Structure 1
Amino acid sequence: MAVIEFRVDRALGLPAYLQLVRQVREALRLGWLRPGDRLPTVRDVVASSGVNANTVLKAYRELEHAGLVEARQGSGTFVRASLGSVDAAVMAGLRDRLTEWVTAARAAGLEDEDVDALMRAVLAGETDNRVEGA
């Protein structure tokens, strides 16, 4: 049974419940959560992240509405579906390579915002926008 520890960054500018939803979706994509795994209780999430119980309930309801989890009366909230479609070994290898790249980027002086901007540009398929001959 996998365990997820939620982190809420108040400076992120994203509502706390959406941060929780995003973290569950990412854990599902990465294979860290699988169908049948139990999510932490609302009480545990409140204690570890400092968010309001209604915030956690809102996140869990959104995940349930998306068909990713199901609430079982008296038992908790359980993962129903997976989002990952890539073999776990392939994902682990890619994660290792990305970790090496991020380490090199930080050694080169890039900050998290720089890495994020570069990653978003690559994901969007943007090419090098430098002016030729400049």
Structure 2
Amino acid sequence: MIEYRIDRRSGVATYLQIVQQTRHALRLGLLEPGDRLPTAREVVEATTVNPNTVLKAYRELEREGLVEGRRGLGTFVRRSLAREEAAEDGPLRAELEQWVKRARAAGLEHEDMEALFTAVLTAEAEREGTHEQQQ
């Protein structure tokens, strides 16, 4: 079962943190169709967030077709976002883990690596967008 971690200093709305963490778990195969998400009460007890915040996140996930609420039973995963290439034992993950080790050895901290990775992703997306526009 997923355990949500809320970073109140991140500037990201709490409900979006829950949505993002759920999506990440779905992409990494940590949550699979049929798995039950923690109840709103369980999330509230673990994170001390408002129950309405949890319900808002779950409604967003339901709107996206990722989960479904079953009255009296809970909220369950409807579909996965997992890709074999991103699996825990996949070669891309192993390469990324090696990159993180090299980055740490070079003195980069978590936020430095996150910023670098995001910058590279953004630049690549812009190149792809430019390339698509030229075709």
TM-score above 0.5: yes
Which structure has greater helix proportion? 2
Percentage of identical aligned residues: 61
Question: What does 1:1-134 correspond to in 2, within 5 Å?
Answer: 3-86=1-84, 89=87, 92-125=90-123
AA at the equivalent of 2:109: E
Q: Which amino acid aligns with 1:80?
A: R
Report the AA paired with residue 103 of structure 1: K
Q: Whole-Å Cα distance in 2 between the matches of residues 90 and 9 of structure 1?
A: 24
AA partner of residue 9 (structure 2)? A
Alpha-carbon deviation of 1:96? 2.7
- How many equivalent pairs are there? 124
Equivalent residue of 1:114, what SS? Answer: helix
Question: What residue identity is the alignment partner of 2:69?
Answer: A
When the two chains are superposed, the root-mean-square deviation of aligned CA atoms in Å is: 1.7
Distance between the aligned counterparts of 2:28 and 2:56, measured in 1?
A: 23
Taking structure 1 as the reference length, the TM-score comes to 0.84
Whole-angstrom distance in 1 between the partners of 2:28 and 2:61 = 17
Unaligned runs of 5+ in 1: 127-134
Instruction: List structure 1 segments (4+ residues) > 4 angstroms apart after TM superposition.
Output: 87-91
Structure 1 position 94, deviation (Å) = 2.2
Match of 2:132 in 1: none
The Cα shift of 1:89 comes to 5.0
**In 1: Cα distance, 2:48 partner to 2:97 partner:** 29
- Mapped partners of 2:62, 2:121: distance in 1: 28
Q: Which amino acid aligns with 1:68?
A: L
Unpaired segments ≥5 residues, structure 2: 125-135
Distance 1:89 1:118 in 2: 22
- 1:114 is aligned with what amino acid? D
User: Does the 8 A contact of 2:2 with 2:37 survive in 1?
Assistant: yes
